[in-house]
Amino acid sequence: MSLTVKAYAKINLWLDITGRRANGYHTLNTVMRRIALYDDVTVGTNGSGDVTVSCDVQGIPADERNIAFKAAKMFFMQMRKNMGAHIHIVKRIPVEAGLGGSSADGAAVLCALNELCGKPFGLHELCGIGATLGADIPFCITGGTAKCTGIGDIIEPLECAEFAALIVKPDAACNTGEAYRKYDGSPIPVKPGFEEYCASIAGSRMALANGLYNVFEELYGNDDIAQIKSELLGAGALGAGMTGSGSAVFGIFNDIREAENAAQLLDVKTKFAVRAI
């Protein structure tokens, strides 16, 4: 049996680090929104006891370094069954971009296996399994718009004004682990106003766009990111910011037509006009 699941990317409308636990995990204040950019993840179960991974893009790990691989292994361990699976990923979400691509793939594997195996786990249990693999996975399972705290595993759904986004991925990539190590070496004070921002985005697209915040932008002080933000604003974006630990930057637009028109104005290779969903 096999099942294909869409693994949706996310953007961070707000991302801040509030602390670090003894186990090394960082605690966060973040608001995430699912966007209509996705990988296709096909999962098939078998009786081999092994997990295998393939991808249509070269350079994607096909072993225990891949979160999709880890997700399948963890799922079967929690089920206490010696099952196997093959996972094939059709990759559209850029890697090392802050768009949550690997987390989305891991979440898709958990959801697909849960369906294929007769739904042994409820949503809360599935998110708990995901949280052991990556901070973004619980949100990638639930989707929508959410305020996420703790290590990303405490999820509170939020009402959010509708918008479209233009995602721009520069050539440079950002490794998440390196980004957090850089933060640990030069921590930045927690930005006030998180709760107020969460409350403001329900009824005001402008409040959403004007309040975008990402602690890693401050940490990097990167001229290329600043330039892309400037170009997005010049193309009509209501606001612009970096997502995750980078390097992708996004602009907020009223609707998909505005985002698509703006895309024509930007002379960059990797860009996606998408709806927030």
- pLDDT number for residue 153: 87
147 is catalytic: no
Looking at residues 232-243, what average pLDDT do you find?
Answer: 98
- pLDDT number for residue 203: 86
The share of the chain scoring above pLDDT 70, in percent, equals 100
Active-site entry in 16, 105, 136, 153: 136
Is the CATH code 3.30.70.890 the one for domain 164-275?
Answer: yes
* Residue 4 CB contacts under 8 Å (≥ 6 apart), including other chains: 40, 41, 42, 43, 112
Query: For the chain, what is the mean pLDDT?
Result: 95
Question: Looking at the domain 2-157, which fold is it?
Answer: Ribosomal Protein S5; domain 2 (3.30.230)
Which tens digits make up the pLDDT trace of 128-186?
999 999 889 999 999 999 999 999 889 999 999 999 999 999 988 788 889 999 999 99
Q: Is the pLDDT of residue 106 over 90?
A: yes
Closest C-alpha among 35, 26, 25, 39 to residue 68: 39
Where are the domain boundaries for CATH 3.30.230.10 in the chain?
A: 2-157
Which tens digits make up the pLDDT trace of 25-72?
899 999 999 999 999 999 999 999 999 999 999 999 999 999 999 999
- pLDDT number for residue 198: 98
Q: Where are the beta strands (DSSP E) in the chain?
A: 2-20, 26-46, 51-55, 84-90, 145-149, 154-157, 164-168, 213-214, 239-242, 249-253, 271-275
Active-site entry in 10, 70, 147, 229: 10
70 is catalytic: no
CA-to-CA dists, residue 198 to 31, 41, 217, 242, 277, angstroms: 7, 31, 20, 18, 17
Where are the domain boundaries for CATH 3.30.70.890 in the chain?
A: 164-275
